[in-house]
Amino acid sequence: MREIRFREALREAMSEEMRKDSNIFLMGEEVAEYNGAYKVSQGMLDEFGEKRVIDTPIAELGFAGIGVGAAMNGLRPIIEFMTFNFALLPIDQIVNSAAKTLAMSAGQFNCPIVFRGPSGSAGQLGAQHSQMFENWYANVPGLKVISPSNPYDAKGLLKSAIIDNDPVIFMESEVMYSDMGFVPEEEYYIPIGKADIKRVGSDVTIVSFNKMMKVALKAAEELEKENISAEVIDLRTIRPLDIATIVESVKKTNRIVVVDESWPFGSIASEIGYQLQKDAFDYLDAPVRRVNGADTSMHYAGNLVNAYLPDPAKVIKVVKEVMYR
């Protein structure tokens, strides 16, 4: 396998599927002439032309709506948002149109569309550009939500999302686009709805997704030095949620900590906690614990950004609390 960047893995996924199917196109702000705000679509305009790699005005509601209409009429759009913070404008099209088309048409119309772009914090960008949205969209029946943590998973899952007949929300991170990872040269797909055990352990389960996987894995490395063996699970897909993999891990470790960048109230961590008390209560030797972002808006100052976000030290502290309670 060769080592490539996260952005290159995304580009390969889109390009490979676009070569197979002329109904697939990419649309969004700066995706064409500028090669993408984060250079994800670099070179795609040259290969596929302006009818399939389409620059849009700064009008997310408008071009998201065009994408939904195109999907309902047989095309397969990939709609890129420069950040999912801007997707608050077209959320009506995503939630009230794309997600509900199949149900409201009594199964007559699919809406095969991918909405993709970065979610979550990316440093000192302030309160309006630092929000996590995985739990928002995961709350909506009819949407599939994917949030990968590395180039290998990103490519395989994006390819599966593009060929899926349902609307898919594909969440990335601005701070991961340059991350390197090993990706096969041959074609592959990763099934939607399957978590992955990134590190095997026996004492405690740590569950996370997206860039917080780096925090989880770093915490596990430090805990190993203190003879605490942490099993680390990458959700990869938020909806459908692979609770079965988490339950099997908890049956072994009897303890779990969920690391989730989003606000704590109504978070993915909260949902996992509920499902575990329902499906794995008898295996828990300690309460389900979570490490979330702060329950406040993100501030600009660097020290406040650090205070807001989960980090390895916060995770280690909570793991020790469930280990030695």
Cβ distance 181 to 142 under 8 Å?
A: no
Q: List, as one string, the DSSP characters of 154-191.
A: HHHHHHHHHH-SS-EEEEE-GGGTT-EEEE-SS-----
Q: What proportion of the chain, given as a percentage, has pLDDT over 90?
A: 94
Does residue 126 surpass a pLDDT of 90? no
Q: Are 145 and 169 in contact (CB under 8 A)?
A: yes
- Model confidence at 97: pLDDT above 90: yes
| C-alpha angle 115-258-83 in degrees, rounded to nearest 5 | 25
The model's pLDDT over 2-32, given as tens digits with 9 standing for 90+, comes to: 999 999 999 999 999 999 999 999 999 999 9
pTM higher than 0.85, yes or no? yes
Q: Dump the DSSP string for 301-324.
A: SHHHHHHHS--HHHHHHHHHHHH-
pLDDT tens digits for range 209-219: 999 999 999 99
Query: Given pLDDT bands bounded at 50, 70 and 90, which one contains residue 279?
Result: very high
Best CA proximity match to 112, nearest among 60, 69, 154: 69
Type of residue found at 20: K
CATH architecture label of 196-323: 3-Layer(aba) Sandwich (3.40)
80 and 41 Cβ atoms separated by less than 8 Å: yes
- Better pLDDT: 123 or 16: 16
Q: Is 90 exceeded by the pLDDT of residue 70?
A: yes
Q: Is 299 annotated as catalytic?
A: no
Q: If DSSP codes are grouped into helix, strand and coil, which group holds residue 199?
A: strand
Residue in 29, 60, 80, 261 annotated catalytic? 60
Structure tokens at 252: 């072994």
60 is catalytic: yes
Instruction: Provide, for the chain, the percentages of residues in helix, strand and coil under a 3-state DSSP scheme, each rounded to the nearest 5.
Output: 40, 20, 40
Q: What is the pLDDT of residue 123?
A: 84
The catalytically annotated residue of 12, 129, 231, 261 is: 129
Q: In one letter, which amino acid is 310?
A: P
In the predicted model, what is the mean pLDDT of residues 188-192?
98
137-146 confidence digits (pLDDT tens): 999 999 999 9
Tell me the pLDDT tens digit for each residue of 247-259. 999 999 999 999 9
For domain 2-183, the CATH architecture is 3-Layer(aba) Sandwich (3.40)
Instruction: Inform me whether the pLDDT recorded for 325 exceeds 90.
Output: no
- Mean pLDDT over 159-177 rounds to 97
Q: What per-residue confidence (pLDDT) applies to 124? A: 86
Q: What per-residue confidence (pLDDT) applies to 127?
A: 83
Where does CATH 3.40.50.970 sit in the chain?
Answer: 2-183
Cite the residue boundaries of each domain of the chain with CATH code 3.40.50.920. Answer: 196-323
